[in-house]
Amino acid sequence: MRQRPLSPHATVYRFQYTMIGSFAHRVSGLALSAGLLVFVAWLAAAAGGWGSYAAAVALLSGPFAKGVLALWLLAFCYHFFNGIRHLAWDLVFGLEKREARRSYRMAIIATLALFAALAWLLFARGGATP
C-alpha cells in the first residue's frame, strides 16, 4: 500500500484548550459505547427475573462499580452538552472562535451541574424508594 498522509495530525497544531473538549468528546463517546453494555445487561437482568436482577443490583452497588457508573454518568453529561454544541456547529451556528470558546465553557458548567444533580439523585439519595 502506498504511504499516504494519515489523520489525525494532533501534534502539528498549536495547543488551545478547546482541543481538550474536542478530544474529550471522543473519549466520552467511547466510554458511553462501553456503557451501552451495562445498559443492555441491566435490561437482560430485569428480563431474567428477580433473582438475576438482584444479582445485577448487588454487582452494580459495590464501590468500584459505583465509581465506574459515576464516570459513565459524567461522560454522558459531557457528551450530551458537547454534542449539542456539535449540532449547532453543523447548522453553521457559533463557529467563531469567541463563540466556540464561550459555548465550551457553558458546556463544561452545564456538564458539572447536571452531573452533580444526577449523581445526587441516583447515588447519594440511593435512588427513589419503592
Catalog residues that contact another protein under the rule CB under 8 A: 1, 6-8, 26, 29-30, 32-33, 36-37, 39-40, 43-44, 46-47, 49-50, 53-54, 57, 61, 76, 80, 83-84, 86-87, 90, 118, 121-122, 127-130
Instruction: Look at the chain and count its residues.
Output: 130
Torsion, Cα 126 25 43 121, to 10 degrees, reads: 20
Q: Which three cell numbers stand for residue 60?
A: 452494580
Task: Find the shortest distance in angstroms from Cβ 24 to another protein.
Answer: 13
Q: Which is nearer to another protein, 11 or 129 (CB)?
A: 129
Q: Which three cell numbers stand for residue 108?
A: 463544561
Q: Which is nearer to another protein, 16 or 61 (CB)?
A: 61
In angstroms, the CA 50 to CA 48 distance is: 7
Q: Which is nearer to another protein, 32 or 108 (CB)?
A: 32
Task: Find the shortest distance in angstroms from Cβ 29 to another protein.
Answer: 5
Task: Find the shortest distance in angstroms from Cβ 109 to another protein.
Answer: 18
Are 120 and 62 in contact by the 8 Å Cβ rule? The answer is no
Are 107 and 65 in contact by the 8 Å Cβ rule? The answer is no
Task: Find the shortest distance in angstroms from Cβ 101 to another protein.
Answer: 22
